[in-house]
Chains A and B, each alone.
Chain A
Amino acid sequence: MAKLTNIFNNRRSWAAPYALFLVLFVVLPLIMIVFYAFHDASGTFTVHNFTKFFTTNTDLNRFIYSIGIAIITTLICILLGYPAAYIMASAEFNTPKVMAILFILPMWVNFLLRTIATAELFSMLGMPLREGALLFGMVYDFLPFMIYPIYNTIQKLDNSYLEAARDLGATPLQVFTKVTLPLSMPGIYSGIVMVFMPTVSTFAISEILTENNIHLFGTTIQESINSGTMLNYGAALSLIMLVIIGITSLIGNNDNSESREGGLL
């Protein structure tokens, strides 16, 4: 009995269920991915899976294409999201809270539902389900993830910085370029991480919005694993993608630590 109370009193033991969860569903799968990636179907160690990827043109091209789509999506999200966040956060525009909620509202709906609805919308309007539809769907799905962190940073921006810049002779435009924009970079970095990472690995959106005409890297991974025979190859591709995502999030985090109060991350 005494032992049991000891366990409850020891705060560290409270983390045990979570630690177990992490080991089972995060650490173990990661180890398995690494293990499978460096072995062939018969279980012998090999780097063939990686050399195969870098020598198979279709897969390599798909990978580059996916990165390209992700970059374009992220850029469009920044271009659309920043002004939206700025207008919502700036006191001078006096935007009602409803506006902010409307921008965030799509996040409340499951993205698969949204994507299917988008596909329906396109076919209803008689528009082709191709690259354009894909980009539209991606931007539509991920825009709130860009707006929210930027909105957060701009809203927290101390008005005295803007006044100080005006006081030192800056025009309203110069205040924006020299103070507001640089100070909202942490929000933009958070937004990039939140949009870029999932868009690289997405496959459902491209499947639904292009009727499987456009294959993204996520699709390649999914197909390899589903095929049953190429499990090891799929694992290698996943690892490559993880590394890419890891690098982008590292870039984001570095900049975040420098200028506090990032946003979502």
Chain B
Amino acid sequence: MKIIEVKHVSKQFEDGKFALNDVSLSIEKGEFVTILGPSGCGKTTLLRCIAGFQVATSGDILLNGMDVTEMPPNKRPVNTVFQKYALFPHLNVFDNVAFGLKLKKIDKNIIEQKVKAALKTVGLSDYEFRNVDSLSGGQQQRVAIARAIINEPEVLLLDEPLAALDLKMRKDMQLELKEMHKKLGITFLYVTHDQEEALTLSDRVVVMNEGRIQQIGTPTDIYNEPQNCFVADFIGESNILSATMIRDRRVAFCDAEFDCVDEGFGENAPVDVVIRPEDIYIWENTKTSIAKQQADYDPDDRVPKGNFTKWYGTVQSSIFKGVHYEMTVLTDNNYEFLVQDYHEFKPGTSVGMLVKPEDIQIMRKERYIFNNFEGEVLKNGKVRFLDAEWEINPDDIAQFEAGDIVNVKVPFKEIDLQDHEEDGVLSGEVHYILFKGNHYALTIRTDEGHDIYVYTTDVWDDGDRVGILIPKESIHIEKRQS
């Protein structure tokens, strides 16, 4: 039975920005669902729309089949655990927990029993008459949970409830929350930016970014079969590379061909591949000087035998991570891979690598080679797009007239980013960075709010201010199909 249905919900703020952009989601009764995403991705807004503190600009929210889109929060059968707990400072623990029941004018004896039971559930018996200010963060968190669950809501909404706790406490509370969910049997909708927390706790994870849902799935699905680069990059460590799907079950990347298990992408289709660092087998590769042949050295017999594609490189760095070593390996053709293994291979070691076909995850490419913009040919022979005027090859412009609306194509890798924003025709900010083996795929957000995709080998940081130049020979215009 569906307990929450979110149908095409958008939330636009006064400045025109979308906090939520056509979000649809349905949650089954009794599920533990986590909304996961970086800060500003809209996850809290979605939760607040379900709680009733914010009203969606468009779309419907159904609770238990009932339309609650514009229902005030006090009438909704949900309760919230707030990020900073929001315990009433003028009331003691008992009165905080009893707050909801007292409003319902329930018999005092029953309230007392229920408060005791709720406090017992969260492990805070005998704390009834303590001042909330005298409690530790973890204890306040428990009171906040008791205050919410005592009302027996259909859905418990939790807004980053563990964010303020230290690591050890957070781990303990995670387990307790999971226990509580089992015991109470009510639906939990949990918001967090901590991917590990999301994977640990949830039955299903909803990954959000920029106001949109990127993927919904079980923790294993999300981790093993990310549907796009954002999800792959956000959840866990990963190697993401541009690749070509040669045919079903055969993919090319890093100048080599590999067997894989995915089908249905077509022939010679541009795709992205994701390989988790722990899925790469690594071994020392001693080159014999005479034959100059690769000799695979695998004394422990850890590497799977079979007809796998192997590729070779040199270890660049190695960091001990407690259980495993995390190493970066630079291949002979200059692709960088992140590899995790229980054995250490020291920097400088020649190594061989292989990955099993089922560990290669193929994703459809969202964008390919070109930025596409809509432009207008101007009288001065320039083209206007991205809210700026650009010079263009005279030969190209000759076949158009002023006022023509054209498609503008700019290859990702031909956009020139300048350190000083005033050196560019446009200025913007590095909005998102993805390393793809031998280059970075950047999303630059211009000050006017447009996104430009750039491939570069230069290293930039998130939030860097840049000037944007496009050489005129890199701007291709074509007639717009009407």
**Which A residues are within 8 Å of any B CB, using their own CB?**
158, 160-161, 163-171, 174, 178-179, 182-183, 185, 259
Contact = CB atoms under 8 A, between A and B. Distances in A.
B90 A167 contact: no
Contacts of A174: 103
B89 A169 contact: no
Contacts of B53: 163, 166-167
B373 interface: no
Interface in B69-97: 72-74, 78-80, 82, 84, 86-90
A183 B74 contact: no
Contacts of A259: 89-90
Nearest to B84: A160
A167 B80 contact: yes
Given A168-B147, A169-B103, A174-B103, A163 B73 contact: yes
A163 B82 contact: yes
Contacts of B51: 167
A240 to B, nearest CB: 35
B82 A160 contact: yes
A174 B87 CA distance: 16
Of the four ranges (under 10, 10 to 19, 20 to 34, 35 or more), the interface on chain B belongs to 20 to 34
26 contacts: A158-B86, A161-B86, A161-B88, A161-B89, A163-B80, A164-B80, A164-B88, A165-B88, A165-B99, A166-B53, A166-B73, A167-B52, A167-B53, A167-B73, A167-B78, A167-B80, A168-B100, A168-B148, A169-B74, A169-B100, A169-B103, A169-B104, A169-B151, A170-B99, A183-B88, A183-B89
Interface of B: 51-53, 72-74, 78-80, 82, 84, 86-90, 99-100, 103-104, 147-148, 151
A265 B80 CA distance: 35
B99 A168 contact: yes
B153 to A, nearest CB: 9
Contact of B72 (A158, A160, A164, A166): A166
Contacts of B80: 163-164, 167
B337 to A, nearest CB: 46
Contact of A183 (B78, B90, B103, B104): B90
A165 B51 CA distance: 12
Contacts of A178: 99, 103
A161 B90 CA distance: 11
A158 B53 CA distance: 15
A168 B79 contact: yes
B40 to A, nearest CB: 19
A178 B73 CA distance: 16
Minimum-distance CB pairs A-B, first 8 = A160-B86, A168-B100, A164-B86, A166-B73, A182-B90, A167-B80, A169-B103, A169-B74
